[in-house]
Structure 1
Amino acid sequence: MISTSKDYDPIEDITIILAQRESIENIDSLINLTKNYRLKLKNEIEENLMENHNYNMSADEIGMKEIFNNLNKIREISDSTNSNINDFTVNINELDQSKKNLTSSLNFYQNLKILIDCYNDCRVLSHKRSFIAMISSYKIMNSLMENNFIKFKNIDMINQLINNINKLNVEIFDNILNIFKKIINNNNSTLGEEAMSHWEKELKSGACEIIDNNSKEGLKIKLIDEILNKLMYEINEIFQIDDEAGSLENLSRRYIYFKKILNKFNTDYNKFFKVEWKMSIRLTTLFYEKTIKDLQILLKREFSTTNSSSVSTNTVGSKKIDLFMNCMQTTIEFEKYIDVRFSQQLKCDKISKTFEPYLVLWIQYQDKIMKDNMLKYLRMGTSSDSDENQENYTVVPSSADLFRNYRNILRQTIELTGETNSINTNNKGKENENLIKEMSRLFCKWLIEYCNKILYPILIPDNVAIDNKDETIKFTILLINTADYCNTTIKQLQDKIQELTGNDKCNKIFSKLDKVYEEILNKGNKVLMKRIIGSELQFIWREFDNVDWKRILIEDYSRYMVTMRKSMQVHNLETEVTERNENIIDKILKGFNREVYKWNFLDKLIEMISQEFTYHIIKLLLPKPPYGNRPISTTATSTATLKNISMNSIEVNNIGEQLLLDCELLKQTMHSYLKYSNNKKTIDRHITNNIEKIINFIKLLITPVDSSEDYNEAYKRLTKNNHNILIWTMTLALKGVSWDVSIWKQHWSVFYLELSESKNTEGITGTTMKEKDQTKQKIEGTTDLFVYAWNRKQVIEHERNMRALVGSSWRELLSEMGI
């Protein structure tokens, strides 16, 4: 009833079964029947599953068995094949090994034959002394022995052969050495030119090559040492330190004798050696080593201590010092000869280094030489021994000679100490540093001596009149140029010594020289400015004072200013200067050898002219003390007519107009200085600033004082807002303002109002101190004094005269001003 179809619907069967009432009553049997059917189906399903599983397992097992069977068959076949191959190749391997053994034996016997043949050839050629023909066999013999047969020494016959070869090597070495000795001993007396030519080829191209190819260490060195000792035998026997010939007195003979040996070796024996052996250099090195050893003993014996700090000329004696210096100088010359001959290829220690512990004697010896040189410089004066033309000298010739000697001393000291860079910090370095210090002290001593004995006598003393200005200019500039040259070269020496020592300890030694040469430079410049230029300006200012300023007519430049232009104007050296128009300034400027001194001189000249020009203007206009109005005569009554003792405003105005005109010519004169200076911007700025101050000062003198407010505005503008009360009063005095106290109070009220309104009123005046010395100190300080800063003494004198004003009204006004 139950279908096996996939689309079976149980609802339909349940509806049919349960359609009748009886079916309900038999429901239990129906359920049991259904349950049994379900169990049956379940059992069928399980049986089907087991059958399928059993089927699958059987297929896998069958497959695995087949695989294992195949593997076993392959293994059996492989083993069988391997066994067959082994059976087949075993004979081939034995054959191949036999072949290798046979080849090795053949090579061994072949090499053995070659070795024996080469050995026999070398024996024969050694007896014949045919070294060139031996080279090939000798190289092969030693190469085969070292590389192929040394490992077979356990074989008696091989070991015996190796011993024979070693003996042959010794024999060949002895033959070569004996031939060299024979040639050296022969001295070309028995061997002819043909034999010498033969041995030259055999030894140079054969024997030397054989020695180079011998693998035994030290064999070549041993041969060379034997030959060099043979060459040095005579000199070692002659110059023994216990004999007179080996003493310090005969050191030069030792060098001469070695030069003969070296020359003879180069001429007769060097051709027997390979160039690469450098036998001449080796021979010289051996001589250096022997001489150094002997000198160490001789110097220690001659000089009681090796402590350089305790060796001195006082304890040693002048004769021994001369001996020491002769020996050292001879040694240095010999080393120079060797260095030139071998082109600086000699690398061993210098013989001169033996003198290092005693080099303080070298410095003290230089002191003796410098003393002699100073006497020579004194004889020379400002001239040269070799040149009669002194016009081209820019420095004293002896100064150049002095520094040439210094450079030689420094160079030789560096050579003797062996220091080209900074000195080491070890004991030897400290000794050398002390030596450098001694040398620096020597330099300073004689530079100061040179300044005092050579340069200062050139300087004309203050108490000696100048009769010839041209000669004074010439020698003063020569002095300045020389002092500058010395100063510059001293700094170069100082830098070189500092580089040598690696520190600035020697700078303290040289510090005193800076003061000495700066002082003489300043004195030389002072002679030019005060005594040469000053005397020229004195004549100009005498003309200024001789002008009738009260009756001046403004028509042209004043005579004094025309004279100034003629005396102070600079001409172009190439186009304008002639013997007729060359003035003092031209002569001075063309003498300086450095541009810095030219513009420094011009800078001072501009300042000097500006200062003295304003000084004489102030001197002209400043009222004579006592300030104020006084009677015409001493017998006049108190009601007598009063007269102002200073110039009046009209006269001052005329004077100012003339001075403004003169300033134009002064400006042209100063601008001519630009022709001589490369520093044109600085000089031009200085001229412009000074001329501007002077012109503003003169314009202030001619400014009307009728209106206090207008004058105050002009004062502020021309003085650049100067608030110094003392300067303000001095300007009014110069302008010829009446000494009527009411006029002064009127101007003071306006000026004081300006002071009160100024943000910088506190601390700007120079006269708020009551005490005179404090006021003077302020004036001499940094207070802005307008053009009066050039002439501070006149400001102090004016203040003193202002304080001397009498009258209660003046005292009250001065108190208010703080004067």
Structure 2
Amino acid sequence: MLSNKDNDDLPQEDFNSDIIKFPPELENSISEILQTNDLIDNNDFIPIEYINQMLPNEYALASIDETTKRLQYKMRQLEGEIQEHTRLQTNGGQQGYEEVAEAKKAIEELFKRIRQIKEKATQSEIMVQEITQDIKSLDFAKRHLTTSITALKRLQMLVTAVDQLKVMAKMKQYKETSQLLQAVLQLASYFKSYKSIKQIAELSISIATFQNELKKQIFEDFESSFALEGSLSNQSALLGDACLVIDIMGQDVKNNLINWYCEKQLGEYKRIFRGSEEIASLDNTSRRYAWIKRVLKTYDEVHADIFPLHWNVSEVLCIRFCELTGEDLVKSLSRAKNELDVKNLLKNLQLTLEFENQLVKRFAYMEKPLHTENTSLKYNFNKSISIAFEPYLGLYIDAEDKNMAEIISTYRMEAVPDDDNSTSVLQSSIDLFLYYKETLVNCSKLSTRKPFYDLCIVFSKWLRTYANEVLIGKLPKEERRAMTRDELKLICLILNTADYCYNTIPQLEDKLKEKVHEEYKDKINLDFERDCFLKGIETCYEPALTTMTKISWNNLESVGDQSEYVTLFHNNLTRCVVSVHKDITNNRYFRSFCDKFVESFVSKIINNLSKCKPISEVGAEQARK
């Protein structure tokens, strides 16, 4: 057996010179292909290990010759296999080259056929395009031919309709005329893009000229049907059909006819109420509204059948009347401003407000907006005429101011109620706020702008007067004496009344802001007037303070019993506080009274002590008792 040492002694080139080394990947692939169990074919074949395996010990050396013969046989067998594989590989290579050449030839043939197919497809596409081009041309020609035929048919219809329209218009068959006119205008709109053609342009001009003539003819029919004063002859059916034609002519033509009608109806109004200053005076305001009511009655009974409902002719008529009347009243009021009587002013203003309300109710059913030459929104009849009176409502505010002055004067003389537990506030305060409520409601109907704001200022003025002159004026005069039970009861009644006014004023302020115009809302504030009702009283302990200053505090020799002024303090304060607590209805006021009383009492005691100087040590001890 060969050892590693023996292996080292042998020339390595003898074992390795004939061994061919392949990469590991190739060796593994070869092993998988051969699939042999022979150790010689193993990738990890080691000659020395193989020899040791065959000759494991010294006893095996005896058969070395036999082993050698077996190895030689194996070598010859391997050489034969190598030669056979080499021969087969050589013959197989030549055959492979021939197969590759045949494959290349087949591929070339295939490419040649593909080119031929592509050329034929191109030719087919060109042929199809030529065929479809002819079809497209035919289809285009067909479509234009259809359009041309349609245009010719419509042109023929338009010419025929225009001829019939002229005949119907000449015969004043306005219902048929309206239908034909609508058809003509629709057909004419189709030829707007053909106006470059001379015949079409001439036909369009002819239609426009005819419309003007037809409009003139219808207006002449209206002129001849209405008398100078606006009364109607017996042609309402004809004029009603004519309005159908006007409706088709467009909004401008319709507005012209409506305005003509309104001017016709209001012509007499202008002649009557603008012809004389006496008739146009404020005293004849009621006659104005009576006149337009007669006109509206005539419209409802006779003229309403002429005009379509959606024209809103009666509403436009009333708008024009309100505009004229407002202008007239502004002039009348300006001429009579130095002679205006508040009673007459309010009377005519009330008549105007009632008339405006009637108009609002009359046209409340109309939901569609107006479309006139001056407005595109629904007209607001509220304040449409009465606004002319607003600059002169200062007379009304002045009258209310004088009236309140008289009322406050009576409140100053108001008798204090007897000892009645059911009465906690002065009746005048309740009456005052009821009067305010009624007055502001009445004023808001007349105006919510500056006159109403001026009324708010008047309210503020008399609230302050009521607080300072009525309530405080009823308080007992400040005298250095103890208050009687009746005086304390009166004071508590005044406090309760002030509390009622203080709590009611915010409600009044909210009501005023609710009614007043947005322009003046932020200017209304009654906080100062509320504060006027927060006055206090502190006279019940004045006699005790006077007694305190009369004592000679520096000459006292000994400390005695409770001082006389302390007894006075105790008796008066007990009586006053108990009485106040009994008669003041609002506990918040009683707590406030106690807080303010203690604050005032401490301050006056300190001031009073400074008047008693000098004070001896004995006097200081006595002052504490």
Compute the TM-score of the two structures, normalised by the length of structure 1.
Answer: 0.46
Q: Report if the CA contact (8 A) 1:184-1:269 is conserved.
A: no
Q: Report if the CA contact (8 A) 2:342-2:395 is conserved.
A: no
Partner residue of 1:346? 379
Instruction: Report Cα offsets for 1:79-114 as digits up to 9, x if no partner.
Output: 443454456556544543443333223322332333
Q: Evaluate the alpha carbon distance shift between residue 802 and residue 446 of structure 1 in structure 2; reply closer, same or farther with a 3 A threshold.
A: closer
Q: Which residue identity does 2:444 align to in structure 1? A: R
Partner residue of 1:229? 263
The share of aligned pairs that are identical, in percent, is 21
Q: Report if the CA contact (8 A) 1:241-1:247 is conserved.
A: no
Q: Report if the CA contact (8 A) 1:339-1:346 is conserved.
A: no
From 94, 119, 144, the counterpart of 2:187 = 144
Question: How far apart are residue 137 of structure 1 and its match?
Answer: 3.1
Name the SS of the counterpart of 1:185 in structure 2.
coil
Aligned residue pairs, count? 482
Instruction: Report Cα offsets for 1:4-59 as digits up to 9, x if no partner.
Output: xxxx99659xxxxxxxxxxxxxxxxxxxxxxxxxxxxxxxxxxx9x9999989977
1:281 equivalent in alignment to 2:323: no
Name the SS of the counterpart of 2:191 in structure 1.
helix
Write the distance in 2 (CA, Å) between the matches of 1:342 and 1:376. 43
What is the alpha-carbon root mean square deviation over aligned residues? 6.0
Q: Which residue identity does 1:285 align to in structure 2? A: I
1:158 equivalent in alignment to 2:200: yes
Unaligned runs of 5+ in 1: 1-7, 13-47, 304-315, 384-389, 418-431, 535-624, 630-643, 647-668, 691-776, 783-790
Q: Which residue identity does 2:506 align to in structure 1? A: K
Partner residue of 1:336? 357
From 402, 407, 412, the counterpart of 2:440 = 407
Question: How far apart are residue 460 of structure 1 and its match?
Answer: 7.9
Partner residue of 2:22? none
Partner residue of 1:100? 143
Q: Evaluate the alpha carbon distance shift between residue 207 and residue 440 of structure 1 in structure 2; reply closer, same or farther with a 3 A threshold.
A: same
Higher relative contact order (CA 8 A, sep 6+): 2
Question: How far apart are residue 497 of structure 1 and its match?
Answer: 5.6
Partner residue of 2:398? 367
Compute the TM-score of the two structures, normalised by the length of structure 2.
Answer: 0.57
Write the distance in 1 (CA, Å) between the matches of 2:527 and 2:192. 76
From 499, 503, 507, the counterpart of 1:492 = 507
Write out aligned runs for 1:240-639 (5 A).
240=274, 243-246=277-280, 250-294=284-328, 302=335, 317=338, 319=340, 331-343=352-364, 346-347=379-380, 350-354=384-388, 358=391, 361-372=392-403, 374-375=405-406, 395-396=427-428, 398-408=431-441, 411-412=444-445, 415=448, 417=449, 438-450=454-466, 483-495=498-510, 500=518, 507=525, 510=526, 512-519=528-535
Q: Report if the CA contact (8 A) 1:135-1:210 is conserved.
A: yes
Partner residue of 1:741? none
Q: Evaluate the alpha carbon distance shift between residue 678 and residue 258 of structure 1 in structure 2; reply closer, same or farther with a 3 A threshold.
A: same
Write out aligned runs for 1:160-175 (5 A).
160-175=202-217
Q: Evaluate the alpha carbon distance shift between residue 346 and residue 645 of structure 1 in structure 2; reply closer, same or farther with a 3 A threshold.
A: closer
Question: How far apart are residue 403 of structure 1 and its match?
Answer: 0.6
Q: Report if the CA contact (8 A) 1:212-1:220 is conserved.
A: yes
Q: Report if the CA contact (8 A) 1:239-1:245 is conserved.
A: yes
Question: How far apart are residue 511 of structure 1 and its match?
Answer: 5.2
Write the distance in 2 (CA, Å) between the matches of 1:282 and 1:778. 73
Q: Report if the CA contact (8 A) 1:378-1:453 is conserved.
A: no
Q: Evaluate the alpha carbon distance shift between residue 395 and residue 379 of structure 1 in structure 2; reply closer, same or farther with a 3 A threshold.
A: closer
Instruction: Report Cα offsets for 1:786-817 as digits up to 9, x if no partner.
Output: xxxxx989x98xx99995759xxxx9xx69x9
Q: Report if the CA contact (8 A) 2:556-2:616 is conserved.
A: no
Write the distance in 2 (CA, Å) between the matches of 1:321 and 1:283. 31
Q: Report if the CA contact (8 A) 2:425-2:494 is conserved.
A: no
Q: Evaluate the alpha carbon distance shift between residue 322 and residue 57 of structure 1 in structure 2; reply closer, same or farther with a 3 A threshold.
A: farther
Write out aligned runs for 1:675-686 (5 A).
none
Instruction: Report Cα offsets for 1:570-591 as digits up to 9, x if no partner.
Output: xxxxxxxxxxxxxxxxxxxxxx
Q: Report if the CA contact (8 A) 2:349-2:446 is conserved.
A: no
Name the SS of the counterpart of 2:196 in structure 1.
coil
Write the distance in 2 (CA, Å) between the matches of 1:413 and 1:141. 55
1:185 equivalent in alignment to 2:227: yes
Write the distance in 2 (CA, Å) between the matches of 1:221 and 1:145. 24
Partner residue of 1:31? none
Q: Which residue identity does 1:219 align to in structure 2? A: V
Write the distance in 2 (CA, Å) between the matches of 1:79 and 1:293. 90
Q: Evaluate the alpha carbon distance shift between residue 478 and residue 106 of structure 1 in structure 2; reply closer, same or farther with a 3 A threshold.
A: farther
Question: How far apart are residue 405 of structure 1 and its match?
Answer: 4.5
Q: Report if the CA contact (8 A) 1:626-1:801 is conserved.
A: no
Q: Report if the CA contact (8 A) 2:243-2:308 is conserved.
A: yes
From 205, 220, 227, the counterpart of 2:254 = 220
Q: Evaluate the alpha carbon distance shift between residue 492 and residue 87 of structure 1 in structure 2; reply closer, same or farther with a 3 A threshold.
A: closer
Q: Report if the CA contact (8 A) 1:394-1:478 is conserved.
A: yes
Q: Evaluate the alpha carbon distance shift between residue 779 and residue 366 of structure 1 in structure 2; reply closer, same or farther with a 3 A threshold.
A: closer
Q: Evaluate the alpha carbon distance shift between residue 184 and residue 805 of structure 1 in structure 2; reply closer, same or farther with a 3 A threshold.
A: same
Write the distance in 1 (CA, Å) between the matches of 2:145 and 2:344. 81
Partner residue of 1:700? none
Q: Evaluate the alpha carbon distance shift between residue 230 and residue 62 of structure 1 in structure 2; reply closer, same or farther with a 3 A threshold.
A: farther
Name the SS of the counterpart of 1:232 in structure 2.
helix
Unaligned runs of 5+ in 2: 1-14, 20-90, 366-377, 416-421, 542-554, 563-577
